[in-house]
């Protein structure tokens, strides 16, 4: 192949041209070996943001980013290997209860997760609320735990899709995060590197999601499914509502507690339903079960306690305290739990998930820069959800704060996130659509 002019390739995409598989591979290789500067890749990302990519280009970019590093080999594990990925939302703690439940039903769940950034929480931050839990393991430890326990949840290593790590950092500071081809390549290059056979995507849509409209969420979901299937994997996507927070908690330790409640047979109805819906889809891919049979299998794993036992084994294998599954007091907690009162009586007609997510970040539960630490104990606990009746002066939520002096900074902001009206408004469905 003749030496390509990298600037000409950037210009070709800038002008709306379609890049070949070889041209895209050359760009990613050049990023890795230093011939392409970060500012040039930023220019390419901006060109993609405005010009888009064809399906063939998106597939080529995903494969090139995947091949920029190592691909985990899990072929020695006979079980069907399946993962789940969420595009991010407020109060989304589903991975923590879903992964051990699916493993308890007979599948292997190798899961490489991320940290919270912006208004959405991260699975790794929630796991690290468990005392001693290690999310940074080498690949040999990762493979061994998946084989012996059935599930392992770690962070992205430096050798898994390193091109994605570089490109995402550039997208985050150049306002190109919302490009669907770049989102697809970023998600799938990491997920396909895990050594999985199947993948279920939870594409959030609404005020608290990155995809604000149903049309945008459908476009993203279809692109993810198409590219994943083109790579030879069993892939499907659920579109789920994210206008209000999922469950009753926003914050690392309290969300971890809520996920563990699901494994113990309780937990908020929407968290349970999202877990069962995604789990049923994973079991459909791996075991060929219909929705009813899959849900029964998941519910049986909860009722028997096997899902909780798998969670205990995973926590212990990753250096954590497995006793947290039965004793939530071992999770970090704040001294203060202070109420946020309703200013008037009526029905809760809406809860601004984005505003509550940003408030939780301000309280220290999340981060606005990748290097920021988080406070695992602080957060927001909802007392009311949409459709609930509330009286004037009754708690709408509770603030988990280190000191009572911190509460006034956040109380008004949390109260303002609740819309209260005279008429009860019916809730829409949690699962909006399934795309296969």
The residues annotated as belonging to the active site are 85, 164, 171, 186, 190
- 123 touches 96 (CB < 8 A): yes
User: What does the alpha-carbon distance between residue 193 and residue 35 come to, in Å, rounded to a whole number?
Assistant: 25
- Cα distance between residue 81 and residue 196, in whole Å: 5
Q: Could you give the CA distance from residue 283 to residue 1 in angstroms, rounded to a whole number?
A: 44
Nearest to 360 by CA among 379, 344, 347, 388: 379
Cβ atoms within 10 Å, residue 329: 8
At 17, list the tokens. Answer: 């041209």
Distances (CA, A) of 364 to 200, 207, 259: 31, 21, 21
Structure tokens at 368: 């606005």
Tokens matching residue 280: 């049923």
How far apart, in whole angstroms, are the C-alpha atoms of residue 174 and residue 283? Answer: 39
CB atoms within 10 A of CB 75: 8
Phi, psi of 297, deg, nearest 5: -65, -45
């Amino acid at each position: 192949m003749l030496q390509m002019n990298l600037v000409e390739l950037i210009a070709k995409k800038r002008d709306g041209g379609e890049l070949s598989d070889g041209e895209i591979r050359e760009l990613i290789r050049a990023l890795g070996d230093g011939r392409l500067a970060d500012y040039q890749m930023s220019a390419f990302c901006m060109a993609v943001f405005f010009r888009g990519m064809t399906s063939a280009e998106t597939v080529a970019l995903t494969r090139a980013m995947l091949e920029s590093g190592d691909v985990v080999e899990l072929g020695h594990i006979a079980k069907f290997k399946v993962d789940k990925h969420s595009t991010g939302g407020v109060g989304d703690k589903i991975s923590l209860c879903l992964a051990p439940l699916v493993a308890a039903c007979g599948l292997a769940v190798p899961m490489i997760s991320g940290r919270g950034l912006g208004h959405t929480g991260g699975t790794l931050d929630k796991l690290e609320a468990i005392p001693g839990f290690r999310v940074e393991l080498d690949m040999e430890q990762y493979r061994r735990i998946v084989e012996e326990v059935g599930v392992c949840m770690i962070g992205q290593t430096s050798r898994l899709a390193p091109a994605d790590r570089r490109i995402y950092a550039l997208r985050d500071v150049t306002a190109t995060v919302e490009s669907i081809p770049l989102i697809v390549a970023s998600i799938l290059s990491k997920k396909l590197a895990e050594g999985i056979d199947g993948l279920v995507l939870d594409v959030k849509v609404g005020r608290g999601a990155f995809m604000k409209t149903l049309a945008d969420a459908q476009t993203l979901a279809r692109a993810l499914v198409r590219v994943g299937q083109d790579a030879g994997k069993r892939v499907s996507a659920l579109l789920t509502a994210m206008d209000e927070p999922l469950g009753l908690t926003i914050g690392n330790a309290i969300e971890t507690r809520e996920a563990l409640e699901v494994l113990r047979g309780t937990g908020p109805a929407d968290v349970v339903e999202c877990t069962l819906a995604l789990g049923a889809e994973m079991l459909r891919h791996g075991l060929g079960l219909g929705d009813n049979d899959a849900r029964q299998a998941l519910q049986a794993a909860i009722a028997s306690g096997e899902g909780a036992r798998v969670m205990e084994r995973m926590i212990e294998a990753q250096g954590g305290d497995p006793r947290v599954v039965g004793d939530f007091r071992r999770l970090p907690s704040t001294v203060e739990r202070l109420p946020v009162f309703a200013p008037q009586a009526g029905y809760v007609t809406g809860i601004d998930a984005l505003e509550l997510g940003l408030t939780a970040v301000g309280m220290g539960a999340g981060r606005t820069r990748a290097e920021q630490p988080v406070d695992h104990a602080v957060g927001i606990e909802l007392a009311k959800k949409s459709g609930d009746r509330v009286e004037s002066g009754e708690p709408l939520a509770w603030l988990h704060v280190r000191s009572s002096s911190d509460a006034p900074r956040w109380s008004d902001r949390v109260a303002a996130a609740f819309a209260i009206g005279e008429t009860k408004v019916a809730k829409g469905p949690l699962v909006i659509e399934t795309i296969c």
